């Protein structure tokens, strides 16, 4: 499993990409637990959207989180998030082969 991440604004651009049914053979929107990633990134209980795409027989997912702390109305920083995603990816590989 390859885990990639990015920080971005442009929420409308992201929404158009996630729901693009022309370039993706199948698009599904639903919720599923991503506990390992959320725990590693300290994003537990943050609002999120999970979108699965199937393109050319390859299925992949996008998880989009709100980075706004609703109590303080400040942005949640994600230091070293790419390294942390790599750690989760490695752990999943070791656990599941």
Q: What is the Cα–Cα distance from 55 to 81, expressed in whole angstroms?
A: 26
Q: Express each pLDDT in 66-84 by its tens digit.
A: 999 999 999 999 999 999 9
Tell whether 6 is covered by a domain: no
Query: Bigger pLDDT: 6 or 28?
Result: 6
Question: Is residue 45 a part of any domain in this protein?
Answer: yes
Number of domains in the chain: 1
Say if 2 falls within a structural domain: no
Q: Which residues contact 50 (CB under 8 A, 6 or more apart)?
A: 29, 30, 31, 32, 34, 61, 62, 63, 64
Do 67 and 7 meet the contact criterion of CB atoms below 8 Å apart?
yes
The answer to the question of residue 5 being in a domain is no
Q: Is the pTM of this model over 0.85?
A: no
Task: State which residues form the domain around 82.
Answer: 11-96
Model confidence at 28: pLDDT above 60 = no
């Amino acid at each position: 499993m390859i885990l990639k991440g990015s920080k971005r604004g442009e929420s409308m651009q992201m929404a158009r990409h996630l729901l693009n049914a022309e370039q993706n053979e199948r698009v599904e929107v639903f919720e599923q637990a991503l506990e390992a990633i959320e725990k590693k990134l300290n994003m537990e209980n943050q609002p999120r959207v999970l979108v699965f795409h199937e393109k050319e027989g390859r299925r992949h997912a996008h998880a989009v989180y709100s980075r706004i702390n609703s109590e303080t109305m400040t942005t949640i920083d994600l230091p070293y998030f790419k390294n942390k995603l790599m750690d989760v990816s490695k752990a999943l590989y070791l656990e599941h082969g």
